[in-house]
Chains A and B, each alone.
Chain A
Amino acid sequence: MADKPKVKILFVEDNDLLRSLFSELFSVDKDYDYETLSAADLKSGLEALSNRPNAVILDLILPYDKSAPTEAELNEKNGLSFLEEVKKDPNYKDIPIIVFSNLNDTEVQNKTRDLGACAYLVKSSTSPEKFMTVLKEKLEIKI
């Protein structure tokens, strides 16, 4: 049997359990051999882009720097600013970014689309199967 193609997924998410859940899901996937890059804050997420992930899964509400969170940062920097920054960077703008958030708000969803996100999934109403289907679609994987 041929080796599964390797893909790198960058998870920009501050919830440890959620990152674990999806890492487990990736570990049993039949189509791909996933390498999960985890970033618990936006600063780490931006730094991890240099690893050239095939896709980014992005939360919207998380600290810029988990070691020094401030209320002001929460207001000024969030997943939207991350998305904007990445899509303006010629080195990284082509990396598909799937927003994975519990903000179920049409205005925010439209904003992420305008900024260049390729999909928006609401965490609490997205099953792991649905998540994997969308991820693979965006990676141009034929299931």
Chain B
Amino acid sequence: MTDTGATPEKMDPLRVMKHDLKGPITIIKGYLSFWQSDAYTKFPPEKQKEFILNALNGADKMDSLLDETFAKIHDMRDKGEMKPFTP
């Protein structure tokens, strides 16, 4: 369907895992940056609490993703599917 040329090899499982792990980091940094830039003052207190909760949810997501990622890596290693990976 596409000739982008950067599809299957770029969607290598380890690359996808790395991408997925960075998702929660983006969330955590994004919400924390509201405080760094004082942007949080533009929001009511209940929104500020929601932002903190979202950042904490990001940390929880990171925690569970790390567990899933290492389980997948162990599984791939056990099956001999590990390929050289350059981050």
Chain A residues proximal to chain B, CB less than 8 Å: 15, 17-18, 20-21, 24-25, 28, 60-61, 74-78, 80-81, 84-85, 101-103, 105, 107-108, 111, 115, 123-124, 127-129
Contacts and interface: CB of A to CB of B under 8 A. Distances in A.
Given A17-B27, A17-B58, A80 B2 contact: yes
Contacts, number: 91
A20 B5 CA distance: 32
A61 B43 CA distance: 31
Contacts of A78: 7, 11
A75 B4 CA distance: 12
A7 B37 CA distance: 24
A114 B61 CA distance: 34
A21 B11 contact: no
Interface size class, chain B: 20 to 34
Contact of A20 (B3, B22, B39, B54): B54
Query: DSSP majority for the A interface?
Result: helix
A45 B7 CA distance: 19
B15 A103 contact: yes
A123 B22 contact: yes
Contact of B7 (A21, A28, A76, A127): A76
B80 interface: no
A85 B1 CA distance: 10
B79 interface: no
A81 B43 contact: no
Contacts of B27: 15, 17-18, 21
A124 B7 contact: no
B42 to A, nearest CB: 4
B25 A124 contact: yes
A17 B57 contact: yes
